[in-house]
Chains A and B, each alone.
Chain A
Amino acid sequence: MTEASLWQSGAPSVSARGPGSGANLADILERVLDKGVVIAGDIQINLLDIELLTIKLRLLVASVDKAKEMGIDWWEHDPSLSSRAPKPVESRDLAAENRELRDRIAQLEAGKETS
């Protein structure tokens, strides 16, 4: 089938067969959680009702600003994520924020390896 050969186009940014196991988690989550065909299963689980997915994951997948527009603001008190929350002016700034982001990514990466 034509698609099969296309899939194996081997373009530099994709693996030999589409964005398989190497695809970035954010890309995968936004597709498997938010896209795809919704048909009622026998096991009724509304993914959007899960706390992680409604709140934390929205934060993770969507950008903070976008999530704010959507009215989700539980991180308002977390200075690393909020411009409105009180934060010491100079000391925190980019370096600290970057460090936190790197830590967070490392945590996620670590989770990825163990799963």
Chain B
Amino acid sequence: MTPASYAYAVTRGLKPEQVAGVRGVDGTEVHLVAHRDLVAVVGAVPLEEYDADALKAKLERIEWLEAIARAHHGVVDAVGTHGATLPLRMATVYRSDERVAEVLRDGYDRFTAALDDLDGRVEWGVKLYVEPPPPEPAAPPSATGKDYLRRRRDARRSREDVWRRAAEFGHRVDAALAELAVDTRHHRPQNPQLSGARGENVLNAAYLVDAAGARDFAERARSADGAVPGIRVEVTGPWAPYSFAVPADPEAVR
């Protein structure tokens, strides 16, 4: 087997014993690759299973995708408990630990600046869901086409109304939370098929929050839940600052 180095995250001042027992993809233990005060958290993987073709094939299968995604996140999450952490995009693979050290060296200023920005801060996720309106009563079989169309129209209008109220509430919540946050990102709404969440996701935001105010932030966000009937607010976190670990080259993300 040819070894390769799967890189999970970049941080500072992490000691090997702090990641003892932390396992990443394929259940392999992670280790550290250092350059000056920067540390990359890396796992050894077989190159044959993580070259472009193999990765592509793996990631095309939802069960593999999920396993790798959860393993990747598990390492980032564990590292994040120890200090400012830059999560790397999933499936960042190098031919050797030496190459990882080179990347740390070449990107030293950029990583350092990003870590400085994120130091002492965490990410909270806040999502707003519109709960589905109660199902319409079954149409009597004798209903005419006209009745049917009218019912459809009324139902559509009432749905649009719920939607509009939700959008307004979402804007208010987002504005209030953004004031408590250092930075804000808006993500695409999630599909309930994958999240398993009830209702339609109308706001999917991430907030970068100072650690000192993080608990207050979460409480404030949770207090929005139930404030408006039919709208649910879900708070997740604290996350490592995935949403704020911006790439140096915005073109790289398309």
Contacts and interface: CB of A to CB of B under 8 A. Distances in A.
Interface of A: 1-4, 6-9, 11, 13-14, 17-21, 23-45, 47-48, 50-53, 57, 59-67, 89-90, 94-95, 101, 104-105, 108-109, 111-112, 114-115
Interface residues of B, number: 87
B113 to A, nearest CB: 12
B89 A20 contact: no
Q: Which of B51, B82, B91 has the largest number of chain A CB atoms within 10 A?
A: B91
6 contacts: A3-B80, A6-B211, A39-B103, A45-B55, A63-B191, A101-B193
Q: Which of B47, B107, B189, B212 has the largest number of chain A CB atoms within 10 A?
A: B189
A7 B94 contact: no
A31 B80 CA distance: 14
A36 B122 CA distance: 14
B252 A38 contact: yes
Given A14-B238, A19-B77, A63 B187 contact: no
A13 B236 contact: yes
B12 to A, nearest CB: 11
Contacts of B240: 18
Q: Which of B7, B82, B242, B243 has the largest number of chain A CB atoms within 10 A?
A: B242
A42 to B, nearest CB: 4
Contacts of B4: 42-43
Top 4 nearest A-B pairs (CB, nearest first) are: A26-B195, A31-B242, A115-B67, A43-B93
Contacts of B55: 43, 45
Nearest to B111: A37
B60 interface: yes
B56 A108 contact: no
Nearest to A20: B77
